[in-house]
Chains A and B, each alone.
Chain A
Amino acid sequence: QVQLVQSGAEVKKPGASLRVSCKASGYTFTGYYLHWVRQAPGQGLEWMGWINPDNAVTNYAQNFQGRVTMTRDTSVSTSYMEVNSLRSDDTAVYYCAKLGDSGEFASWGQGTLVTVSS
């Protein structure tokens, strides 16, 4: 079955950088786009962007352009999402999700809690 396993919780200081990983299994990693979504405390789901694991092409939401980088390593079926210049309002749970053939997110990672605090 499809599984997305994310890296563990992180505590970061303002201005630092963050990298969250998402290891995929149970399907052809290069066959489906991987998206990243976050939820800040008390807020809704916020789409951050996607990466095409086949060719590493990315598309970032406007709010994150210039600060977020999504990459992948096909040898280990893993996608990475990096955020730099962290701010307190980047405190959130970050999820990776596999996009299906009908534009649906049927498979999600378990979420990674990131706390940005001085």
Chain B
Amino acid sequence: QSALTQPRSVSGSPGQSVTISCTGSYTVGGYRYVSWYRHLPGKAPKLMIFDVNKRPSGVPDRFSGSNSGNTASLTISGLQAEDEADYYCCSYAGTSTSVVFGGGTKLTVL
């Protein structure tokens, strides 16, 4: 069982915003590093957000991250059909420690 809890599924219509939560049994931010990944079948996961709220080059600014207490969140605004995928949060405590992934959230664009 994952130590990071995500909703199994979320949905939204094109143009709307959705937020995916990632709740830890203790302070997610206490893991120091929080990142988010998009995963499509047959593909490698793609980094969407790192260090809580930073976007890698090439990721649209429709994707944003935040962290409050024991919950990290990924918000996708202006939903597009291509955003439909599984999304995973990931937390890492720092050098020489362990990593944990959330259970994943399936995003459906209606």
Contacts and interface: CB of A to CB of B under 8 A. Distances in A.
Contacts of A108: 44-45
Contact of B99 (A35, A102, A110, A111): A35
Contact of B104 (A45, A50, A95, A109): A45
Interface of B: 2, 32-35, 37, 39, 43-45, 47, 50-51, 54, 56, 86, 88, 90, 92, 94, 96-104
A59 interface: yes
Given A44-B2, A44-B103, A104 B51 contact: yes
Interface of A: 35, 37, 39, 44-47, 50, 52, 57, 59, 61, 95, 97, 99-100, 102-106, 108-111
A35 B97 CA distance: 11
Given A59-B98, A106-B56, A45 B47 contact: no
A85 B13 CA distance: 46
A46 B45 CA distance: 12
B45 A103 contact: no
